[in-house]
Structure 1
Amino acid sequence: MQSYPVLCFNTASLREFVEFWSKVYGSPSVEKLYTDHISKKRFDADDILALYQWKNGTPLSERKRDSVETNIVAKLHIINELKLDYSEEAFQKNFKDMTAVWKIFLKNIISPSQFAIFDMHVFRAFWFLTTGEIREIDDVLTDAILNTHKERAKEDLYNIKYLPFIRSLMHDDIPLKKNDECLMMFGKFLRSEFSRALLPNSKSDK
């Protein structure tokens, strides 16, 4: 009798979990925008624009490019100073008016070994791994605060809850970027229809 492939849910060690989901991430062509620029000791304007294009996933619109140039590239000297000696006080003073996700990404640009990448996908993975629920960040924050404070709440969630969580995954020789890739892909899976079949006992707001 011919056999057919099916997917099933298994638990695994941290290393196996990270290895599996980071392989799903693969090596997309756009990844060069990140890897070719992030390790530079000093950034120029092209580095910043390339990194934000990577974060955006597509070429920046005119509005987004103008925002990056006005709010970030114009302060390139400060970014390069922070790369040498990071200060949270100096960072907040100079970049306080940015949206939370792009502000957090700037922290990653400045110190990729210290600050993890943060978006809706890694949040979804984090929330599931810590609560067993599949939820979206905006819904979680709306439950707790007024919309006018949502950007600040995202930053607080990142600093107070997410960073300690992802740093706890940095055992042995697993780099932070690999954890980022793992959680991004696991978070995307949780949003897919497949998660309903493979994780039947999970709670979801979908």
Structure 2
Amino acid sequence: MHLSFQIKFRDLPRFLDHWSSKYKFKNEEKYTDNIGNPLTEKSLRQLFEWKNGIEKIAEAKAQSIAANYTTSFKDDPATRYLDHKQSGSAIWNIFYLHCLSPREWPIFDQHVFRAMRYMKTGKIEEIPGTNKKKYEVYQQEYIPFFKSFGGGEQRKVDMALFAFGKFLKTAAKYA
């Protein structure tokens, strides 16, 4: 016996309303209180704590953040932070770009990748393993996909994609 299921969306506003309402993440105030404001050492640390999903970053990670991510970046940050030959993981480097300019650089992670791929192909896929491939997917596929939502409610889009992608991770067991 073969059983399957399909997920359909009536329209984009309903998709965003439904899935953004399912969004849950620890310490959300660390994000909302700090993003879009001038970065300080404290706010940058809190943003990375939020991204990491923990209350407080371990000292070794805090030192790495301080060494790799400054409160302002004078040159073109994309040249440095979207280069797989530079230090740092793709996800954290992209998140740092988001911290510097949230309207220009959407958050990217395994969940929003999964949501994007499902919405584009109907298949549940996992994020590529290498930094090089993550950067390619982010720039060539994810940014245009994210922009297709219109840019008005970026945070709502991010929350909806995150929640939907997280759901798909569970759903993949049954697909």
TM-score (norm 2): 0.85
Larger Cα-atom Rg: 1
Show the counterpart of 2:49.
Answer: 53
Matched, 1:191 2:146: no
Please tell me whether the aligned partners of residues 189 and 195 of structure 1 are also in contact (alpha carbons under 8 angstroms): no
Please tell me whether the aligned partners of residues 81 and 94 of structure 2 are also in contact (alpha carbons under 8 angstroms): no
Q: How far, CA to CA, are the matches of 1:66 and 1:87 in structure 2?
A: 20
- After superposition, what is the alpha-carbon deviation per residue over 1:115-153, rounded to whole angstroms, capped at 9, x for unaligned? 111110101101111111111113xx5xxxxxxxx1121
Name the CA shift for 1:195/1:18 in 2 (closer, same or farther; >3 Å).
farther
Please tell me whether the aligned partners of residues 45 and 65 of structure 2 are also in contact (alpha carbons under 8 angstroms): yes
| 2:22 aligned counterpart, secondary structure | helix
| Root-mean-square deviation over aligned CA pairs | 2.5
User: 152, 158, 168: which one pairs with 2:148?
Assistant: 168
Q: CA deviation at 1:156?
A: 1.1
Please tell me whether the aligned partners of residues 49 and 65 of structure 1 are also in contact (alpha carbons under 8 angstroms): yes
Q: CA deviation at 1:60?
A: 1.5
5 Å-filtered alignment, 1:2-21, equals: 9-21=7-19
Please tell me whether the aligned partners of residues 19 and 164 of structure 2 are also in contact (alpha carbons under 8 angstroms): yes
Q: How far, CA to CA, are the matches of 1:118 and 1:98 in structure 2?
A: 15
Show the counterpart of 2:132.
Answer: 152
Runs of 4+ with >4 A deviation: 90-93
Give structure 2 stretches of 5+ with no counterpart: 1-5
Q: How far, CA to CA, are the matches of 1:99 and 1:33 in structure 2?
A: 21
Q: Which residue type is aligned with residue 135 of structure 1?
A: E
Q: CA deviation at 1:62?
A: 2.5
Percent identity of the aligned residues?
Answer: 31
Show the counterpart of 2:87.
Answer: 97
Paired residues, number: 168
Q: Which residue type is aligned with residue 140 of structure 2?
A: I
| 1:115 aligned counterpart, secondary structure | coil
Give structure 1 stretches of 5+ with no counterpart: 1-7, 142-149, 201-206
- After superposition, what is the alpha-carbon deviation per residue over 1:28-52, rounded to whole angstroms, capped at 9, x for unaligned? 5511001111121x21100100000
Name the CA shift for 1:37/1:194 in 2 (closer, same or farther; >3 Å).
same
Matched, 1:71 2:68: yes
Comparing both structures, which one devotes a greater share of its residues to helix? 1
Q: Which residue type is aligned with residue 67 of structure 2?
A: T
- After superposition, what is the alpha-carbon deviation per residue over 1:138-174, rounded to whole angstroms, capped at 9, x for unaligned? 3xx5xxxxxxxx1121111100111001110126x4x
Q: CA deviation at 1:91?
A: 5.4
TM-score (norm 1): 0.73
| 1:134 aligned counterpart, secondary structure | coil
Show the counterpart of 1:116.
Answer: 106
Please tell me whether the aligned partners of residues 121 and 185 of structure 1 are also in contact (alpha carbons under 8 angstroms): yes
